[in-house]
Amino acid sequence: MSNSRIRKAALAVILGGVFVGSAMAAGVPVNTRVPAHDIKTDGMLGRTATPDEIQAWNIDVRPDFAGLPPGQGSVATGTKLWEAKCASCHGDFADSNAVFPPLVGAYQASKQDIKTGRVAALVHGGTSIERLSTVSTLFDYIHRAMPWNAPLSLSWDDTYALVAYLMNLANVVPSNFVLTRDNVQQVQDMLPNRNGMTWNHGMWPGKEIGNGGIPDTHNVECMKDCAPKPKVETFIPAYAMNTWGNLADETRPWGPIRGLVTVSQAELKKAEEKKASAANDPNAKVIALIKGSGCIACHSFGDNKLVGPGYKEIAGKYAGKKDMVAELTTRIIKGGSGVWGSIPMPPQTISEADAKMIAEWVVDGAKQ
Ligand code: HEC
Ligand code: HEC
């Protein structure tokens, strides 16, 4: 197959994907104009999503509250939920600066803020609630992403209550307030920074990558006498080729996108030799296991803290204490809290044998 044939075939697959996508949305069978044998669907395109599946994904809440189901929650209920599910990371009054900058902190909406819809103090930075211009964003984000260690676990009523609690903390609603689908627009109309969102600036102020800060949100497509269509390409400049190691190694093993080989043949050979010798090195095996088990999202291998302590730091506490292996194995599987600070470690999906291997490696000094 010549190069251009390959490209055409690839294009057919991409267009096929788009076509199937839109046909699916309309609930009609997959379009048959593209001969079936031209689309390689194995493992890439599946069946039509069921209405239940679409509903499970379709959870966004928009600025006009489209997508927000009926529900209600009081400040009082929100206070209890906050203490149980949020305070460990964000502080009792949403004022912690440890995991994330304060959500509310000492901010108290003034009468003037509520009247103008512009938070005067924002010129000095601002907490999340000071900057917020759409209440819908709070609903959407909290329901979708929080608590951080158990996203999508909150009911809509829980979410109403938590939004009510944060709004009360910020002095927008009184402490006996009950937030409902019917009065949420009134809260939006009082939101201190509701008029603070601006479109009148570009994403990229610089001249080199950007366009000098000209806003692109109001662009209309040119229909007549247009400049030639720009050719869009991506490439890695030679000097940056090896900045992140071999990108081909980082590509997921499925899907159509293949990573580039960004190291030289000599380096590739060296890496392969290292891999071969690592297969016999027990420490390398544990390190690979930790990398493959998602632990490094929260733990570094050194002694610097990310969300949790670094492995060197943990080893410093337990090195040589063989009697801790069983306890650490359990803590890895079940999670824990209070040993290293207020942020909890959520339970991990990992076999007991693997967790034990990691615990032994920690007690052995977390060697690399
Ligand atoms: C285990 C720690 C943890 C817990 C528990 C937690 N959060 Fe968060 N929260 C975070 C982190 C980390 C971020 C920043 C995430 C990011 O930017 O990707 C965040 C971000 C947020 C934000 C967005 C702030 C912004 O300005 O973008 C809101 C709102 C929020 N959390 C609310 C909650 C609520 C409500 C709960 C309880 C139901 C909760 N969080 C529980 C860690 C936590
Ligand atoms: C979401 C973040 C997160 C993830 C993912 C995570 N941890 Fe943790 N881990 C923590 C936090 C936070 C602590 C500190 C808990 C405490 O203070 O008791 C911790 C503590 C630990 C400890 C020390 C326990 C103790 O009692 O001293 C070990 C060992 C550990 N984690 C191993 C792992 C392993 C292995 C994995 C992957 C299978 C993992 N962690 C995944 C956040 C995480």
Closest ligand 1 atom to the C-alpha of 131?
A: 26
Which of 345, 360, 363 for a ligand 2 pocket mutation test, highest count of atoms within 8 Å of Cβ? 345
Per-block mean pLDDT, blocks of 10 residues, the chain (368 long): 39 37 37 44 69 89 96 98 95 88 90 93 77 96 95 96 97 97 98 89 74 76 86 82 81 70 87 81 89 89 90 94 94 94 91 95 92
Whose atoms come closest to the Cα of 315: which ligand?
2
CA distance 183 to 75: 14
CA distance 49 to 53: 6
> Going by CA atoms, what residue is nearest to atom 25 of ligand 1?
128
Domain boundaries, given as residue ranges, for the chain = 3-49, 72-190, 233-271, 281-363
CA distance 54 to 58: 6
Which of 81, 89, 127 for a ligand 1 pocket mutation test, highest count of atoms within 8 Å of Cβ? 89
What fold is seen in the domain 72-190?
Cytochrome Bc1 Complex; Chain D, domain 2 (1.10.760)
Burial of residue 336 (number of CB atoms within 10 Å: 0-12, 13-18, 19+):
middle
> Going by CA atoms, what residue is nearest to atom 42 of ligand 1?
148
CATH class of 281-363: mainly alpha
Q: Which residue has the tokens 């499970």?
A: 56
Compute, in angstroms, the gap from residue 147 CA to the centroid of ligand 1: 6
Residues whose beta carbon lies within 6 Å of some atom of ligand 2:
149, 290, 293-295, 297-299, 307-308, 314, 328, 331-332, 336-341, 343, 345-346, 348, 350, 358, 362
84: left (phi over 0), alpha (psi -120 to 50) or beta: alpha
Whose atoms come closest to the Cα of 359: which ligand?
2
Contact between 194 and 209 under an 8 Å Cβ cutoff? The reply is no
Same fold, 72-190 and 281-363: yes
Distances, alpha carbon 343 to alpha carbons 84, 191, 222, 338, 355, in Å: 13, 30, 52, 8, 21
Whose atoms come closest to the Cα of 292: which ligand?
2
Predicted local distance difference test score (pLDDT) of residue 1: 36
Predicted local distance difference test score (pLDDT) of residue 42: 52
End-to-end alpha carbon distance in the chain: 46
Burial of residue 308 (number of CB atoms within 10 Å: 0-12, 13-18, 19+):
buried
Predicted local distance difference test score (pLDDT) of residue 346: 92
Which of 77, 86, 133, 307 for a ligand 1 pocket mutation test, highest count of atoms within 8 Å of Cβ? 86
Two tokens, residue 195: 């008029």
